[in-house]
Amino acid sequence: MKLDISKALFDEALGLMPGGVSSPVRAVKPYPFYTRSAKGSHIIDVDGNDYIDYCMGYGPLILGHQPAPVKEAIQRQLDEGWLYGTPCELEVKYARKIREYVPSMQMMRFVSTGGEATMSAIRVARGYTGRDKVVKMEGGFHGAHDCVLVKAGSGAATMGVPDSAGVPGDVAKNTLQVPFNDIKALEACLEANRDEVACVIMEPIMCNMGPIMPKDGYLKAVRNLTREFGVLLIFDEVITGFRVGMYGAQGYYGVEPDMTTLGKIAGGGLPIGIFGGRRDIMEKVAPSGDVYQAGTFNGNPLSLAAGMATLEYLDKARVHRKLNEAGNALRGGLSELFKRTKLGYSVSGTASMFQVFFGPLPENYEQALKCDRELYMKFWSHMLESGVFLPPSQYETCFLSAAHTDEDFQVTIRAMIQSLGALK
């Protein structure tokens, strides 16, 4: 595989950007490929290599690259302008649409990134309850801001900096951690910090440590416990929202949080974050309340248009049904393979998400960290050379899109069998 142009670009980038990249997880060793273009399920690099893409922009591209309905909506919006600094009709329409699917978001605000959405949701929870402490799951990733960069997953876990430098001790001390899937630990934590905890923030499925699935009844138990302790429950559905189905993980599991954050798919591939929840909580946000949040690009019409077109298409074409079937087939094929070869590896995920763990199926962060990361990266390199681009970390999730074809899946399974064989 030739990567000469990518290598030259990366060599120059190393002098211009920390680690040569704009976001840490992209800093693949020895150097990343540089994308020239992407279409459908494929991504093509500057040296002309063509890969089947399962990274899919880390989740937003559920319809693949450049899906026609989204592209057309963006083009239509471009003709009307792309930044107004005033309210526009689209935000009213989009908010109404979001609430149809996620009724627990009685009111919401549009921001520019998922990280901004979680940062704001936490501020609102603190303002509403008048309490400082926040509980998150060990290995939970909610963006890159101070309050949540403590035992963080995703790139932070991959890069070995789950506890970021530069986060003041006075901030970190208010971020409490419990293991995912451990209701006793959460109960003990809320008990020990009675009347001090503003919120529990969690992904209903931990998609930023690979996907780690909630055990049966766990989310309902978290809901009951937070209610009992008067603590707000924030579901961070930046990945799971519109991924596991139209109604998010909260619809899928039938558990209603007090607040929700959305992003990724909700922007149709353009930058977005949305936070919302119960009316009495959201009324705390300025200008109706005293929790301040503002942004030049809040509710930007291009992202709203792309998000709207994505949701409309997902619903109209019943995309999830087919996509989730494909996910089931792929995960089923992989687990059969692992069973046969007795390698002790596992496959995790649900709906259109999966990940291969080089170890037993993890139920939490600690178990996930025990899986063999080096072996995953060897597997990753083999897959790339076979023309399949997976996210470059075991602690990320592989995403299917509506653009992936049966042929893509056949090529992928063959590449997996070969790559796993080459590891021995």
Ligand X SMILES: *Cc1c(COP(=O)(O)O)cnc(C)c1O
Which residue, 133, 129, 122, 130, is CA-closest to 193?
Answer: 133
Minimum gap (Å) between residue 112 Cβ and ligand X: 8
Should residue 327 be labelled a site residue for ligand X when binding is judged by CB under 6 A?
no
| Strand ordering across the sheet containing 353-357 | 346-348, 353-357, 398-399
Phi-psi region of 164 (alpha: psi -120 to 50; beta: other; left: phi over 0): beta
Binders of ligand X among residues 100 to 129 (CB under 6 A) are 113-115, 118
List the one residue out of 139, 225, 154 whose CA is nearest residue 396: 154
Whole-number minimum distance, CB 259 to ligand X, in Å?
A: 13
Q: Closest CB to ligand X among 122 and 285?
A: 122
Q: Which is nearer to ligand X, 202 or 415 (CB)?
A: 202
- Supply the minimum distance, in Å, between the C-beta of residue 234 and ligand X: 11
Q: How many CB atoms lie within 10 A of CB 224?
A: 13
Residue with the shortest CB distance to ligand X = 114
Binding mask 222-251 for ligand X (x = CB under 6 A): --------------x-xx------------
Print the binding letters for residues 170-209 with ligand X: x by CB under 6 A, - otherwise: ---------------------------------x---xx-
| Residue 293 CB neighbours (<10 A) | 17
Closest to ligand X by CB, 138 vs 236, is: 236
- DSSP-assigned letters across all residues of 221-246: HHHHHHHHTT-EEEEE-TTTTTTSST
Name residues contacting ligand X, limited to 253-312 (CB under 6 A): 263, 273
Nearer to ligand X, 118 or 348 (CB): 118
Which strands, in side-by-side order, build the sheet including 259-263? 107-111, 273-277, 259-263, 232-236, 197-202, 133-137, 175-178
CB distance 117 to 201 below 8 Å:
no
Q: Which residue's CB is nearer to ligand X, number 202 or number 281?
A: 202
Q: How far is the CB of 91 from ligand X (least distance, A)?
A: 18
CA-to-CA distance for 30 and 205, rounded, in angstroms? 31
- By beta-carbon proximity to ligand X, the closer residue of 113 and 386 is 113
In the chain, what are the helix, strand and coil shares in percent, each to the nearest 5? 45, 15, 40
Site track 404-423 with ligand X (rule: CB under 6 A), x = hit: --------------------
Least distance in angstroms from the C-beta of 203 to ligand X: 5
What is the spatial distance between Cα 91 and Cα 87, in angstroms, rounded to a whole number? 7
Identify the CA nearest to 77 among candidates 243, 268, 358, 275: 268
**Residue number with CB closer to ligand X (101 or 345):** 101
User: Which chain residues interact with ligand X by CB under 6 A?
Assistant: 113-115, 118, 141-143, 203, 207-208, 236, 238-239, 263, 273
